[in-house]
Amino acid sequence: MATSLAAFKGSFGSTNFWVLTIKAGEFVRLMTIPKELEEWEDLSPEEKFQREINYKRVASHIAPYLAHDEDRFIGAFIVEVRNHQDMAFESLSDAGVKGPRAVPASLMNQFGILYLSGSEILIPLDGQHRLAALKFAISGRDEKSQDIKGLTPNPKVAEDTCTVILIEHDLEKARKIFNKVNKYAKPTSKADNLITDDTDYLAVISRESIAGEIIPSRLVKSGTANTLSSSSFEFTTLSTIYEINLKVEQAYTGKKPDLTKTVRPEDRALAIENLTSFWNDLLQIQAYSASLADPSERGDERRIEIRKSSLTCKPIVQRILADVILDMQIGVEDKPKLSHKEVVSRINQVDWSPENALWQGILLNGDKIISGSGPHNFAARVIAYMLGQPLERVELDKLKQTFKSNIPGRELPQPMF
């Protein structure tokens, strides 16, 4: 079927191109995935310049984002046109259109109408996974026409506007464009993702619902840092909030969160409810509530002093205590489990001073705070036991042995409660 599209004609290097916009539903209808071409199986390995589509990733991650997120957005598609002999471009100047005096003649020659006869074959050079995701998001079905579990079809996506860059078919150029576009695509860093990633729902909750609503934003150090210097006025770090949220979400859902997939709105709402509740309990630790009592600059010196006098305010220890609260829900099956509020109450009765010799080998090595996943897990296990976590005999014996190995010459302290 013949199609007329408003377009802008340009060139880059030796390649002429046209930029146009088109409704997603129409775009999906017009496009052909390379593997669907009749000659695909006859192409040599060199000619199969397109990747195989990872339909699992499309169905699990990209399509749910397009279907479920109202703020969805995707970049421009680069598309080659085969059988383009009857394709024609008529500029505004060629059509005899007179533009405003302020519009240069060169622009009148670049803007116009691109006519497609209907015999063209349009193939994505960059964006075939997004193309497949558009199909899935609109229909709710995968490449085998099977319903996609956990995805609610969204016909409104068909009305969204896609930006398309068209080039005429040239096998060598097509291969170069595909390879270069993907070669120079640089993955974002972890720090970037914590601040900008909208697919990782825990990153969004960390920076919007926790750092901002529960903890004032100015008191949260951004980036991937998990420590604060002795002169830092902040209360914690964004990385610390994120790592705590990971542990809490996994504990509450019973599975490792899939952070590459856009979750359903109801699942995100539940995560926000659970995490805000957890943080509200955690921040009842006396050193935390005192640190946050005055979030303005007037309270900065007070926060610094509190962090010097209480190990609980070290970001790494904040993570450990969050683990302790979660770990206290694990233990001997027939023993009652403490509420989060009761665990926090017990934490508030402990001497967390750096001068307390108890913490040497557990939280401190000399005047240095512990680091590393092994020491982190060891500290959480010991503190949970000291706060009254009931353990089976075999687990208690194992903890005593680990304690002796980590801190020679000392015995595992008696529980405080």
pLDDT, tens only, 262-294:
788 898 899 999 999 999 999 999 999 999 999
Q: Are both 143 and 229 inside the same structural domain?
A: no
Given 3-state DSSP classes, what are the helix, strand and coil percentages for the chain, each rounded to the nearest 5? 45, 15, 40
Q: Which domain holds residue 70?
A: 3-183
pLDDT tens for each residue of 326-348: 998 865 566 677 889 999 999 99
Q: Are both 195 and 179 inside the same structural domain?
A: no
Q: Report the DSSP pairing between strands 77-82 and 121-126.
A: antiparallel
Q: Are both 370 and 287 inside the same structural domain?
A: yes
As a whole number, mean pLDDT of residues 69-85 equals 90
Q: What is the pLDDT of residue 182?
A: 58
**Which phi-psi region, left, alpha or beta, contains residue 347 (left: φ > 0; alpha: ψ -120 to 50)?**
alpha
Of 165, 183, 201, the position where a domain reaches its end is: 183
Q: Are both 129 and 153 inside the same structural domain?
A: yes
> In terms of pLDDT, which residue wins out, 361 or 194?
361
Q: Are 150 and 64 in contact (CB under 8 A)?
A: yes
**Is residue 411 a part of any domain in this protein?**
no
Residues 6 or more apart whose CB falls under 8 angstroms from that of 262 comprise 61, 64, 65, 68, 69, 199, 201
State yes or no: pLDDT of 47 exceeds 60: no
Residues 6 or more apart whose CB falls under 8 angstroms from that of 225 comprise 237, 239
Q: Are both 106 and 139 inside the same structural domain?
A: yes
| Residue in 304, 284, 291, 202 with CA at minimum distance from that of residue 247 | 202
Split into its structural domains, the chain has a count of 2
**Is residue 417 a part of any domain in this protein?**
no
Q: Which of 6-20, 333-347, 358-372 has the lowest mean pLDDT?
A: 333-347
**Is residue 413 a part of any domain in this protein?**
no
Q: Are both 138 and 175 inside the same structural domain?
A: yes
Q: Are both 261 and 384 inside the same structural domain?
A: yes
Q: Are both 138 and 174 inside the same structural domain?
A: yes
Both tokens of 382, joined, read 């010991």
Of 183, 203, 218, the position where a domain reaches its end is: 183
**Is residue 133 a part of any domain in this protein?**
yes
Quick check: helix, strand or coil at residue 123? strand
Of 115, 149, 183, the position where a domain reaches its end is: 183
Q: Are both 384 and 331 inside the same structural domain?
A: yes
Both tokens of 275, joined, read 């995490």
Q: Are both 40 and 166 inside the same structural domain?
A: yes
Residue 1 and residue 6: Cα distance in Å, rounded?
17
Q: Are 165 and 77 in contact (CB under 8 A)?
A: yes
State yes or no: pLDDT of 137 exceeds 90: yes
Q: Are both 116 and 194 inside the same structural domain?
A: no
As a whole number, mean pLDDT of residues 397-408 equals 93
Within a 13 Å sphere around the CA of 147, how many CA atoms are in the beta-carbon half?
Answer: 5
